[in-house]
Amino acid sequence: MRALVHHEFGDPAALLAVEQRALPQPGPGQVRVRTLLSAIHNHDLWTVRGTYGFKPELPAQAGTEAVGVVDALGPDVDQLAVGQRVTTGGTFGVWAEYFVADAAGLIPVPDALPDEAAAQLVSMPFSALSLLHSLDLKEGDWLIQNAANGAVGRMVAQLGAARGINVVGLVRRAAGVDELRAQGIDRVIATDSDDWRDRLAEITGGADIHVGIDSVGGRSAGDVMSTLAVNGTLVVFGAMASPTLEISSGDVIFKQGTIKGFWGSVVSREMPADLKGKLFGELITRVLDGSLTLPVAATYDFDEISAAVTASDQPGRVGKVLLRA
């Protein structure tokens, strides 16, 4: 089979290349899946660069999320059938024509859900919904987040609205406000304006904001922390701009604030099966009723991986870049 492989860590656009690899065989409790579409995520590219929390043994395949069709069953698999469409967001090496995965970790895809949505259903949307669920916010509560025009930021805004949570987003440039408004996301503020805090007070009506989500790091993390009420919590989800948080000690001490991290892959792995099923059911419902949109920026063949990586790294991109097997 054809697969995307890298022999060293570094620039994905330069190092990833199509190679022939042996067709994998499913073991007990596993199935083989014929890949249809795969999403390119930042953590996939960080893994190829060698800068992520997971470092594979080289030479390595790549990719973690895909939708495909069950092609073969291993022993002791009775919950899936050959020909069934499934998706995964936690199987390493899916940028290949076939991959093997644990049957228990695959999500059956309903007929009404397009491949383009199913190919990106798990990693980002499930992380966004798991994050919201973990915050234990009630209908009418307020939440603030930076990187509001990023993939997870858009999803948190849409899923929060569907759950009745008031979400305010921060972006670094005014153009980001217009981009989000085009998607129906209105509570957005550009921090390049000197009066952005006044604008925040107008939007919230002075209501307490108990939770902030930081996906940027640096000063932006401190900006989010500074808007929180007493006993507020800053959840660190990513570090797009800096691996260091620049936070005022006064905001932590005098507001008795809490700072904690959220790593979606660990949360998903440790989540009880019944809760995971419930959240995936909600996700699929939100996509089908249009309250959660999963746009696609572009789709590339495996042979076009260099161009696909470049497109995925493009600032201001709306939607995921997908790979076609």
pLDDT in tens, the chain (325 residues): 999 999 999 999 999 999 999 999 999 999 999 999 999 998 899 999 999 888 999 999 999 999 999 999 999 999 999 999 999 988 999 999 999 999 998 999 999 999 999 999 988 899 899 999 999 899 999 999 998 888 889 999 999 999 999 999 999 888 888 888 878 898 999 998 889 999 999 999 999 999 999 999 999 999 999 999 999 999 999 888 888 999 999 999 999 999 999 988 788 888 898 999 899 999 999 999 999 999 999 999 999 999 999 999 987 788 899 999 8
Q: What distance in Å separates the CA atoms of residue 92 and residue 44, rounded to the nearest whole number?
A: 9
What pLDDT does residue 293 have? 92
What pLDDT does residue 303 have? 97
Tokens standing for residue 162: 């569907």
What pLDDT does residue 54 have? 85
Q: What distance in Å separates the CA atoms of residue 219 and residue 281, rounded to the nearest whole number?
A: 37
Place of tokens 């020909």: 83
Q: Phi/psi of residue 182, each to 5°? A: -65, -20
Strand 233-236 versus strand 258-261 pairing type: parallel
DSSP 8-state class, residue 16: -
In contact, 31 and 106? CB cutoff 8 Å: yes
Give the relative orientation of helices 123-135 and 273-288 as an angle to the nearest 10 degrees.
110
